[in-house]
Amino acid sequence: MELVDQSSVQSSHCSTEDCGRKSHHSDKVKNSIVSRLNRIEGQVRGIKGLIDKDTYCDDVLNQIASVQSALNGVGKLLLEHHMRSCVIDRIQEGDTEVLTELLTTMNKLMK
């Protein structure tokens, strides 16, 4: 997992009051996420190609595991940014409901 340099996390946040639940990622974080998602998209297209070519099932399953791992990495990056910015900001604003939201999201990610 790639940790986010705190200098790249801007002081903006995703408060529901200020910006309608939008997240404001630094250019560095956004570029990293988009780059990872582009690679994942290519991997998924590759898996479709493997199926078209009747590739041995175990080889396809290993590629699927690779895609799942890559998606988990993107999820961890987003979760870290969310906790360091959005969650902290909303708690400081007195919105403790964000903790329930965070726990629900974390449970979904851990399935």
- pLDDT tens column, 34-82: 999 999 999 999 999 999 999 999 999 999 999 999 999 999 999 999 9
Read off the pTM.
Answer: 0.74
CATH superfamily of 25-109: Metal-sensitive repressor, helix protomer (1.20.58.1000)
Say yes or no to pLDDT of 9 above 60.
Answer: no
Say yes or no to pLDDT of 1 above 90.
Answer: no
> Taking CA 16 as the corner, what is the angle to CA 11 and CA 22, rounded to the nearest 5 degrees?
65
Q: Cα separation of 36 and 77, whole Å?
A: 11
Ordered by start, the domain boundaries in the chain are 25-109
Give the amino acid at 24: H
Q: Cα separation of 44 and 61, whole Å?
A: 12
